[in-house]
Copies of this chain bind each other. A is one copy, B any other.
Amino acid sequence: MPIRVTVWGENVHDQENDVVKGIYPNGMHNTIADFLRKDPEIICKTAILQQEEHGLTEEILEATDVLTWWGHCAHKQVVDEVVNRVQQRILQGMGLIVLHSGHFSKIFGKMLGTTCSLQWREAGETERVWVCNPGHPITKGIKRYFEVPQSEMYGEPFQVPTPEENIFISWFEGGEVFRSGLTYKRGNGKIFYFSPGHETYPIYHQEDIQMVITNAVKWCRPEGDNWFDKFDGKPTDPVIKIDIKGPRLHGDGQSGLR
């Protein structure tokens, strides 16, 4: 069974900024989708902010196994209804890969419950990405480390909960460090955050980067059944017959409160 990926792009700097347009003439989302499609296991569509419902309708999300998310300057334009819908789908089992400045996206903050803030500097310095678990499927094909010749510095403290696993840590020329690859599980969905990917450098054209994101897609594909939240307000029948004792708030057949 192929893995059905939806690559979501904010698609603003890609349209408005000449540097970004030069590097990603078809938009960053198309560059990402194109390299993912090279893998025979992956089927890939794109969706962008400017589409109706940001291209993330119920039908599309239901047919998505893994969603990748890149956004930077327009996080606040993503409507809450779509964010909530994406959250529900992740809890059911859809994988989520959050890229670079997506650390401040509504969906990442919503899933993690923290500000996800960090330190930054746009100086085109070298970033060296170190592997913390050389056996992890996300690091398959990666040597002990790889370098991003020009990168935006993202530095600690990174305000996120303790991850399930810390996959990469980055070293920066200017002196900082950053937890650049982190995994989480929420409900039945796997989440991977990967920090390299500033739009004014050709980072998504780099082979190591493409390999990591392709690996991550495979790692966070759904692996069980969907977990549908069964709370419909109805009380559950006891397994063992018991008599109702004491006063009740809810009348017979009355629903619970949410």
Contact indicator B117/A245 (Cβ below 8 Å): no
- Which listed residue, B115, B177, B185, B240, touches A91 by the CB 8 Å rule? B115
Known A115-B229, A201-B246, A247-B200; contact A235-B137, beta-carbon cutoff 8 A: no
Copies in the complex: 4
A75 to chain B, nearest CB (A): 7
Does chain B have a CB within 8 A of A158?
yes
Q: Which residues of B contact A140 (CB under 8 A)?
A: 224-225
**Which residues A95-110 have CB closer than 8 A to chain B?**
101, 104, 110
A208 to chain B, nearest CB (A): 15
How far does the alpha carbon of A249 sit from the alpha carbon of B21 in the complex, in Å? 12
Give chain A's interface secondary structure class: loop
- Which listed residue, B125, B163, B224, touches A135 by the CB 8 Å rule? B224
Residue of B with least CB distance to A123: B244
**Which residues A154-192 have CB closer than 8 A to chain B?**
155-159, 161-166, 169-177, 179, 184-188
Interface size class of A (residues with CB under 8 A): 35 or more
Contact indicator B125/A223 (Cβ below 8 Å): no
A221 to chain B, nearest CB (A): 11
Residue of B with least CB distance to A71: B257
Q: Which residues of B contact A199 (CB under 8 A)?
A: 249
- Which listed residue, B163, B173, B237, B256, touches A240 by the CB 8 Å rule? B173
What 9 A-B pairs are tightest by C-beta distance, nearest first? A175-B239, A174-B238, A135-B227, A135-B188, A124-B246, A124-B245, A117-B231, A137-B224, A19-B247
